[in-house]
Chain A
Amino acid sequence: MSKHRLLAMFKDFDDAFDVVDKIKAKEVSGLVVEDINMMSPIEHPDVDEKLGKRPVNVAYFTLLGAIFGVTFGFFFLTSAQASFLVQPQGGKAVVPLPTNFVLMYEMLIFFAVWTTVVTFLVLSKLFRPRGTLYSEKLTVDEIGIVVEIEDDKLEAVKNFFKDNKALEIREEKA
């Protein structure tokens, strides 16, 4: 069966959270809290509590970036310093570890930061067209709830939103 996506706009977080609570209480058949996405001008601290804990995996990639940075730093510097073998060193170490630690530290941060940012761009699903399910009021003060539902439940869900203080409802084919 084909599906539709709905965007319901609400005046504030309280109205939106009431709707989420009702969906959690299974007042609407075929709609579960996992299907809900909430759009807002700010991040509300209770969103996680209301929608359930959802994974944020940025930090794992940051760790990978940091490990890569420090490893790359070590091998990059060491291979560069190996070319000094052909030059007189005056008794000093060819690969001076204490000074290399400073540079490896900088490279750790450099790669960790870049990996974090790239991961953020990918995991946040940025660079996607906004489609019709977007309202400019979402960057002012209104809160949006987006759900994906099967066509036969479309009217019921729309009525549910209307009965629960939705200011506006938009829809598009999934």
Chain B
Amino acid sequence: MGQVIEDKMIDEKLEWSRINADVIASMQNPRRAYWVTLMVCIAMFACAIAAEIYQYKLGLGGAGLNNPHMWDMYIATFVFWIGMSHAGTLLSAILHIIHAQWRKPIYRFAEAMTTFSLMTAGFFPMIHLGRVWNLYWVLPYVSDRGIWPNFRSPLVWDAFAISTYLSSSALFLFIGLIPDMAILRDHTTGWRKKLYGVLCLGWRGDDRQWRNFRRTYMLLACFLIPLAISVHSIVSSDFAMSIMPGWHITTFPPYFVAGALYSGCAAIMTLFVLLRYFFRMEEYMTLNIMEKTTKLTFAIAMVWTYLNLIEFSATWYGHNMYDKELLIDKAVGPYAGIFWAMIFCGMVAPFAMCFQKLRRHMPSMFVLSIVLQLGMFLERWMIVAPTLSMSHQVHQWDVLYGTVIEWAIVFGSFGWFGILFLVFVKMFPSVSMYEVKELCFHLKHEIEEEEHEKKLAAEKAGGKQTSGGGASPAGSPGLEGA
């Protein structure tokens, strides 16, 4: 019986009252591992705070940033976090529009991941500014200095695109939460009841609200998809608009978008395994759904691999000697180890997902998802660092592997993301209760309809047999005659 349920997307016979009870109980009593992970995240974030204070006092030179490495780990990490944010859009918006039912139990945390990844990414331009207190200079406001941001710069486009994406994805997450917060308002006590009572905005679940809700959710999903694509295209423009070797590439926008979806899917796999364990969600985050997620990740990994190979071959057979030298330098130069690690983690490791046994083995998928994300992080680093190390100016050639300060801040950003995410899943349901109910409802009716059709077909066949001269077997002259 257990195997049968694991093979299903979800057990359609789940009582709706049990879905409420399970999800609410999971929020109140997570496993001890949840608290341990939260403590680890806080410790990681503390490292970043210490490093940032040091950098704040000493300046960006303390982080090893100099000429030519005026961009380095911070921008690579910024791109990594922006990329992670695309998972929510993919899993929630795209799969919502194409009516992929299996997304329903897991889209909530993917949406939350989007919002928190963007919040984490937003830190890096600030950290990278050096003079953090002058951040407001990038805002387009009328000042007596007569200074305006340069609207021709992709960095300003970044600011517009990311702030739009952050506010839109936060609204998308919030709107999707409203019916669930009404459930929590009705079935919790104390401060939680008060909090959800305010946040559900007086949701009653009448037909007018549901109709407007569905239309709104669909419209937001439709806007989020082009927005997500524009965001990462614009981030790629930060590089592609320059004339630096290795950056001035036409395929950069689709390459960045594919990379973003890839790392986002890998992150969903990681969080899927963790949440399933922390909150005892085995019945909702099933192996069947994990398998579908891994298949999707594999497909995107292959798109990313293809775009990588296209880029390599275009550079190899092209006539730009600077680009070609850079590619050779990546493969055999000082960054070769990192480059080949990226190739292994991003291009070779995904083939493990071809094996069904591995796809259904949670610890293996957890390790693999970490490997894939490592590959995607190295990819972003390999976009930034080698180009700066080996640009057009030979006298500027230099190699930088990142300083302790940089690594501490990058490390701490994972802690910051972890804190936000873990607090969210403790405060709000990581499984969408009303969508799981809808899923169960539809599956149940589909099965009933199938059984009904089978019964009708059997009755019809029986009738034909009777009219064709008794109980003659299928294919017999009697049936053919009928």
Contact = CB atoms under 8 A, between A and B. Distances in A.
Contact of B215 (A59, A102, A121, A138): A59
Interface in A18-75: 37-44, 47-48, 51, 54, 56, 58-59, 62
B208 A124 contact: yes
B3 interface: no
Contacts of B434: 41-42
Contacts of B205: 39-41, 138-139
A103 B151 contact: yes
Nearest to A128: B202
B306 interface: no
Contacts of B168: 109-110, 113
Nearest to B439: A42
A124 B212 contact: yes
B209 A126 contact: yes
B152 A80 contact: no
Interface stretch (A81-89, A148-156, A157-165, A166-174): A81-89
Interface residues of B, number: 50
Contacts of B209: 124-126
Given A41-B16, A113-B223, A129-B202, A120 B212 contact: yes
A42 B208 contact: no
Given A39-B205, A113-B167, A80 B140 contact: yes
Most chain A CB within a 10 A radius of its CB, from B182, B183, B211, B226: B211
Contacts of B16: 41, 140-141
B351 to A, nearest CB: 37
B219 A58 contact: yes
A58 B212 contact: yes
Interface stretch (B77-85, B123-131, B157-165, B393-401): B157-165
Contacts of B215: 56, 58-59, 120
B206 A77 contact: no
Interface of B: 15-17, 20, 140, 146, 148, 151-152, 156-157, 160-161, 163-164, 167-168, 171, 175, 182-183, 186-187, 201-216, 219-220, 223, 226-227, 230, 234, 434, 437-438, 441
21 contacts: A37-B207, A39-B206, A41-B437, A42-B441, A43-B213, A51-B207, A77-B151, A80-B140, A83-B148, A106-B160, A110-B167, A110-B168, A116-B216, A120-B216, A124-B209, A130-B204, A139-B187, A139-B205, A140-B16, A141-B16, A141-B437
The 8 closest A-B pairs by CB, nearest first: A141-B16, A43-B210, A120-B216, A136-B186, A126-B201, A124-B212, A110-B164, A139-B183
Interface of A: 37-44, 47-48, 51, 54, 56, 58-59, 62, 76-77, 80-81, 83-84, 86-87, 92, 96, 99-100, 102-103, 105-107, 109-110, 112-114, 116-117, 119-121, 123-130, 134, 136, 138-141, 146
Given A42-B438, A120-B212, A139-B205, 19 more contacts: A39-B207, A42-B434, A43-B210, A56-B215, A59-B219, A80-B151, A81-B148, A81-B151, A87-B146, A99-B152, A100-B151, A103-B156, A105-B230, A109-B164, A113-B223, A121-B201, A125-B209, A139-B182, A141-B15
